Amino acid sequence: MIGIEADPSAQDPRAAVVRGWIVPAIIGSAMLMQTLTATVISNALPTMARSLREDPLSMNLAITMFLLASAVFLPVSGWVADKFGAKRIFMVSMVLFAMASMACGFAQTLNQLVAARLFQGMASAMMVPVGRLVLLRTTPKSELVGAMSVLTMPALLGPVIGPVLGGFIVTYWDWRWIFFINLPVAIAGVALVRAYVPNVKEQAVFPIDIIGIGLTGIGLAGLIFGFENLGRGALPPGSSPASSC
C-alpha cells in the first residue's frame, strides 16, 4: 500500500494560525487602505477646493480618475502577478500606493492631485486583486471560508468609517493627512507580508492581450468623460450621445 505523505505545515499550530487569520488580516489591511482612500475624500472635497483655489465641482476629477485608473488596470493585475510572482507584485503595489498617497498629500494644484490619484488607482488595481490571489494560492480549501471572512472584515470597514474619518480630519487637522495616514499602514503591511505571507510560485502565463486592454481603457475613459460632461459642459451641446438624448 502506498502511503500519502502529510503536509508538515498542516500539523503545525503556528502555521495554522498564520493561515487562519494573520495572513488574511494582513491582506485585509491593504483592502482597508484602498476602500478608505476611495471614500474618505468625499467629505473633504470642499475644503480641498478652497485650499487649491478650485471649483468644488472640479474636485470630482480626483474621485473619477482614481476609479478610472483602477478599472483600466484591473485586467492586467492577474497577468502581472502570474508573470512576476503574486507576493512580489503585492508588496510593490503597496509601496507604489504609499508613494502615490504621499504625492496626493503634497499636491499644490488640481492637476498634480489628479495625476497622483491616477497612479494611486493604478497601484490599487494591482494591490487588491493580487492580495486575494495570494490568499487563494496559500490557503488550503478547508480553511478558505474562515480566511475569506477575516479578509472581508477590514474591507467592509472602509466605506463605513471613511466619510466620518475624512470629515474629522478636515475639521481638526489638515486635509493632506487624508493621504498621509496611508504611509504607516503601507510600511507595516510590507514588513508583515515579508515576514508572514508565504511565497507564491510564478505561474505559466499566456501572452497579454494588449489590443483588448487598450480598447477597454479607451472605452472606460470615454464613458467616464461622458458622465463628467453631463455636469460640467466639457463638450459642445449635441456632440455626445448623452447630450443628444
Whether residue 235 lies inside any domain: the answer is no
> Could you give the number of structural domains in the chain?
1
Residue 74, in any domain of the structure = yes
Is 217 domain-assigned?
Answer: no
Does this model's pTM top 0.85?
no
Whether 184 is in a domain gets the answer: yes
Tell me whether residue 116 is in a domain: yes
The domain that holds 152 is classified in CATH as 1.20.1250.20
Whether residue 229 is contained in a domain is answered as no
Residue 163, amino acid: P
Report pLDDT digits (tens) over 185-206: 888 888 888 888 777 766 667 7
State which residues form the domain around 121.
14-206
Is 29 within the bounds of a domain? Answer: yes
In the chain, which stretches have pLDDT less than 70? 1-20, 201-204, 224-225, 228-245
Domain membership flag for residue 120:
yes
